[in-house]
Amino acid sequence: MRYSILVSVLSALLLALPATAAPDQSKKIRRAKHVKQERKEIELLQRSTELYWDGVRWNNAEKSSTFVEDPTTRMQFQQWLEDRFSSQRVMNARVLRVDVGPPLPKESPEARKALISVSVEGYTLPEQVVKNEVVHQVWYRSATGWWLEWTPPVNTEAPTPASP
């Protein structure tokens, strides 16, 4: 009889053990999925910024302007960038840092924002004096992807193509 009670208690413990371990395992799985999703978001943002700067580097305003979400603003941006290309050149642009903010409230049109720091090497024409600067850009995530936050400059005098 004692033997059957002991077996019953051990069986109950063995059956209860996976039930208590399951919440911990579930948390680990959710955390791993979250980390994987965060990495994918950052990779997508880095790829978008690299494509944007590749367009700036090769004076391809059409390619770079595809990262401005609003079509009207995109056209203004493309024209502004083409104007800058007539007097400025970017020789090299390298993303230095990507700081992605936390998710924004669900009622916000943007899912999250990010601050991008880019090292830009370029020159203006006709001086052709090479200058280096670090440019900071704000990008935001919507349901359709990562987008450059850009507003038309008030002053039409020569900000660099790196300043969007």
Domains of the chain in sequence order: 11-148 (3.10.450.50)
pLDDT of residue 33: 81
At 70 the three-state DSSP class reads: coil
Distance in angstroms (rounded) separating the CA atoms of residues 40 and 38? 5
pLDDT of residue 159: 47
Print pLDDT tens along the chain (164 aa).
556 665 565 566 556 555 555 667 788 888 888 788 888 988 999 999 999 999 999 999 999 999 999 999 999 999 999 998 889 999 999 999 999 998 888 888 888 999 999 999 999 989 989 999 999 999 999 989 999 999 888 765 544 555 55
Distance in angstroms (rounded) separating the CA atoms of residues 110 and 141? 6
